[in-house]
Structure 1
Amino acid sequence: MSSTQKRFSFAEGAYQVIYLLRANLASSLVRYGRSFWMMQQDTFWRENLFELNLESGGNFDLLFDQIGDSTDSQRAEWVNGANFYVRANNRTLEFFQSMASKLAHWYTPDMAIMIHQCHTWGNQSNCNFMPHRIAHSWEWMYTAQKNPPYIMQLDCETDAGSKLDQLAKFGFRFTQDDGRTCNQAAVEQARERMNMGTVDVRRAMLSWGRFQFIVYWYITDFLLWLPIVGQLIKPYLPLVGFCIMITF
């Protein structure tokens, strides 16, 4: 598709096509009995996630990363949807088939549908979540930087295609000047900064992408904090997330 060959940003139509492609790919893998990890490339691996052998333990069908910054966060157990594990069975096949069908007709991110289905399907799909100490989002950099996670997704910097340049200011650029050869020393330096809790977020100006996320999360946390109302809307609020973000 020609529209996906050009640069596009979060909440644009081409992004929706990627969501739909991923849901259909997941359905196909599960249909053929293939359990799998879905991993996004904008994730820094401080340690080897696979050494934890998360696939073999726990009573779950789907093991997701989550947003928020701790179990006390209003957004805890909301699917981040960047890095997750799927056990192939009839329940997960139905999960992704339903998600693909909804994505074909609803303008909403795939993680919103994952959240909705995980929190409303009951025993129909058994969702579990990796602790924040294992998988975290970019929000970790704006905390006290304690207990660095095994993996951290860096998806907040989406300002006019400058994501890689922005991440480089945080110390997350891992190629030589040719843009192709791995700079192993840069990887080790980034790992050490995470271990020491010294990732310098002051070096990067506030991008439009991160500003959107900050405002969006502020509104979301307030709505989820509301007594009674917050718990009632928690499974449904992400479905209208695009509407809030487009406003800003």
Structure 2
Amino acid sequence: MFWPILFLILTSLAQNVVLAAECEAANEFNHAALLFCFTTAASLISLVILFIVCFKFRGGKLLRIETRLFTVMDQVLQNTLPIVLTEEMLYKSLDLKTQENIYHASLANYNRALEYLNEAAKDFVYGDFSTSVQLNEVLERTRSPHVILLNKHALNVTLNFVCNLRHFNATSGVVAFAFDYHSYTVMKGSFPEISVIYWKMMSLEDRFQAGDGRYQLFQYFRARLSSYLSTTADSFWMIQADTIWKKNFFTTVEYSDADLLFDQEGEEGLLSEMTAGGYYYVKSNEKSFKFFKNIGDTLLEYYVTDNNLMTRQCLLQMYDVTCRKIPYSTLVNWRYEPREDRPEPPFVQFDGGEGAEEKFLKMKKAGALYVDPESLSEEPRPARCLPLIATEPGQKVKATKNINKANWVIRSAHQATEWLCLLIPRLRTFILGYVFPFYAYFLAI
């Protein structure tokens, strides 16, 4: 009886968190706050009572989570957890108008994104990589590429980033995939030492944001590209341009003993075990190919993020890959809290959920400007790099936080989850492997 009851309590807790997020998104903030607090408290109290009973009647020993439990869960939860989110039963406690707003908005987002991705994916197939003369000529010259993906809306940030890399002579291995001809022309003219590939995808020429169909397509493209590079390159880095470097990243980070190396979502607790997904290193082999192929396949079926799938597959040791983490003290993101008693991180990512234009303005305000702003133009002409390093090594470059409307729910849910994992450490596998990958999107979008 223990494990079925535990599973029901945890499922109820997760559903309460999702429901609270959806209520808040429908401008039912007070209702959502009360609902979340009371139902979460009830779930946690039930969990404590359950463990007290077990502790009392099991001679002072809590039950050990058996490996076979996770095997069974893997078969059941892969098919049930994504479906739970769209069950109308979650909304029965709300008035009819709120039910309709929440249910249809959530389901519409889910369906629109998946339908868009599956439709767009018909015009882009895995075989396009092997038939691309330009790509394979680049791979003949660059056996361990450092890959950047961009469109015209991320162009200024990317120009600033590559200018930053020039200060450390770190541009020679860069391979930039430009999804529109404007970006291709500017990057090609600005940096003759890097390889620029024009990968025409009209669906990715426009601006996109987390959760919409274009963003899902972007993740899908990246997963398919990663699986292809796992069979053709010796190794590769996937890197993100919204980052400031204070030293050469490629000579700072050690990764020789890993199949895969990922950045961390946070500094401690569950966040330290979660993948952020902006930076990752891949050693090419069959295991890595299967790892990213499965991510692409899963994106076509479920409304999920690739970084949560990376966390899941590493944690469950799928395909026998060896995963390692880049220390958070080395590469930080929007969660980073500067302190006087510790050194500044050498790499800072401006990934607070804003658009590339806002990120560029924040970099400029922080003194982290490496491209000459006078050379930027709406016309497709080359940009110029500033001659001196704009950010001194001792100057603080802070990743700024973006507090969106669902963050209060995310933070509350995270704290409750951390508490549960302290009580039952083996729950980390269940939460990171089975809950977060399928639930996280519905809290944040």
Same fold (TM over 0.5): yes
Query: In 1, distance between residues paired with 2:433 and 2:302?
Result: 16
Alignment of 1:145-160 (within 5 A): 146-158=342-354
Which amino acid is 1:143 matched to? P
Of 242, 245, 248, the residue aligned with 2:444 is: 245
- Name the structure 2 match of 1:181: 384
Q: What does residue 339 of structure 2 align with?
A: 144
Deviation at 1:75, TM superposition (A): 0.9
- SS state at 1:152 partner: strand
Q: Deviations over 1:107-128 (max 9, x none)?
A: 1111011011011126712111
Question: In the superposition, relative to structure 1, how do residues 101 and 208 fare at CA in structure 2: closer, same or farther (>3 Å)?
Answer: same
Are 2:410 and 1:216 equivalent residues in the alignment?
A: yes
AA aligned opposite 1:41: A
**Whole-Å Cα distance in 1 between the matches of residues 303 and 371 of structure 2?**
36
Whole-Å separation in 1 of the counterparts to 2:308 and 2:356: 24
Give the C-alpha shift of residue 25 in structure 1.
0.6
CA separation of 1:63 and 1:214: change in aligned 2, threshold 3 A: farther
CA distance in 2, matches of 1:171, 1:185: 12
Higher Cα radius of gyration: 2
Aligned-pair Cα RMSD in Å: 2.7
**Does structure 2 conserve the Cα–Cα contact (< 8 Å) formed by 1:157 and 1:167?**
no
Change over 3 Å in CA distance of 1:144–1:215 after alignment to 2? farther
Q: 1:213 to 1:164 in 2, by over 3 A?
A: farther
Which structure shows the bigger proportion of residues in helix conformation? 2
The answer as to whether partners of 1:176 and 1:182 remain within 8 angstroms in 2 is yes
Deviations 1:164-223 (A, max 9, x none): 22343333333223233223546334x4313xxxx467xx7x6455x6557634532432
Q: Would you say the 8 A contact 1:7–1:161 is kept in 2?
A: no
Whole-Å separation in 2 of the counterparts to 1:19 and 1:99: 9
- Check the 8 A contact 2:338/2:398 in 1, yes or no: no
SS of match in other structure, 1:18: helix
- Alignment CA distance shift 1:123-1:19 (3 Å): closer
| Aligned pair partner of 2:431 in 233, 236, 248 | 233
Amino acid at match of 1:144: R
Cα distance in 1 between the residues matched to 2:204 and 2:221: 12
Residue 240 of structure 2: which of 24, 35, 40 is its match?
A: 40
Partner letter of residue 192 of structure 1? Answer: G
- Write the distance in 1 (CA, Å) between the matches of 2:253 and 2:418: 33
Structure 1 counterpart of 2:394: 192
Dislocated runs of 4+, deviation >4 Å: 206-209, 211-215
Is 1:65 the equivalent of 2:65? no
> Structure 1 174/214 Cα, relative in aligned 2: closer, same or farther at 3 Å?
farther
| Number of residue pairs aligned between Structure 1 and Structure 2 | 232
SS at match of 2:261: strand
Secondary structure at the aligned position of 1:188 is classed as coil
